[in-house]
């Protein structure tokens, strides 16, 4: 996947997350699950084999996503 498509997917995921209905009462776990799904989907766009020498930004995004997912996973109730 080319780098432009990666950034478009990242922006789209940010848009989806930002449009969660904040006025509607929801359980925190439900919101976290939606965030988790969106971030996990981005791992397909920023694959495991991304080379930091060739695509440092993509590598950084993947590393950030993995860190957030690990934190969310370690705090599941």
Return the pLDDT at 77. 59
Buried b (16+ CB within 10 A) or exposed e, 32-71: eeebbebbeebeebbeeebeeeeeeebeebbeebeeebee
pLDDT in tens, 28-44: 788 888 899 999 999 99
Query: What is the value of pTM for the model shown?
Result: 0.81
């Amino acid at each position: 996947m080319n780098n432009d498509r990666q950034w478009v997917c990242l922006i789209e995921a940010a848009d989806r997350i930002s449009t969660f209905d904040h006025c509607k009462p929801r359980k925190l776990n439900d919101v976290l699950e939606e965030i988790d799904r969106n971030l996990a989907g981005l791992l397909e766009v920023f694959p495991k084999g991304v080379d930091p020498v060739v695509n440092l930004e993509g590598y950084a995004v993947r590393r950030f996503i993995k860190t957030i997912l690990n934190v969310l996973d370690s705090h599941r109730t």
